[in-house]
Amino acid sequence: DARVTQTPRHKVTEMGQEVTMRCQPILGHNTVFWYRQTMMQGLELLAYFRNRAPLDDSGMPKDRFSAEMPDATLATLKIQPSEPRDSAVYFCASGSGQGGRPQHFGDGTRLSIL
């Protein structure tokens, strides 16, 4: 089965450090989504891309977060500088972009900022 691949699976770092999370969407999928999940907020959409173009990043704190898709096989989410409140699980998901088709999630990156 094709899968969305995320790296790293876990990341622990000190506040102020840069964090980069990577995602390889399923081959042929043209939409990519970044979500953040915490106990308090549940799943929140941070940003998403269609055909590598950013469509909506309104859910993302612009001052410290950035999302890019340098090519069709790689999406990145960066936090600089990181803060303890960024601790969460970050999921990447990809979809075919066709109406009514669901998304498939990666295993997530569990991020802890000390």
Partner 1 sequence: RKEVEQDPGPFNVPEGATVAFNCTYSNSASQSFFWYRQDCRKEPKLLMSVYSSGNEDGRFTAQLNRASQYISLLIRDSKLSDSATYLCVALSSNTGKLIFGQGTTLQVKP
Nearer to partner 1, 45 or 72 (CB): 45
Smallest distance from partner 1 to CB 23, Å: 12
* Binding flag, residue 28, partner 1 (CB under 8 A): no
Pick from 61, 58, 67, 68: nearest CA to 83: 61
Alpha-carbon distances, residue 28 vs 23, 25, 71 (angstroms) = 14, 8, 12
The counts of H helices and E strands in the chain are 0, 11
| Stretch 92-111 residues interacting with partner 1 (CB under 8 A) | 93, 95, 97, 99-100, 102-108, 110
| From candidates 56, 85, 112, 114, binder to partner 1 by CB under 8 A | 56
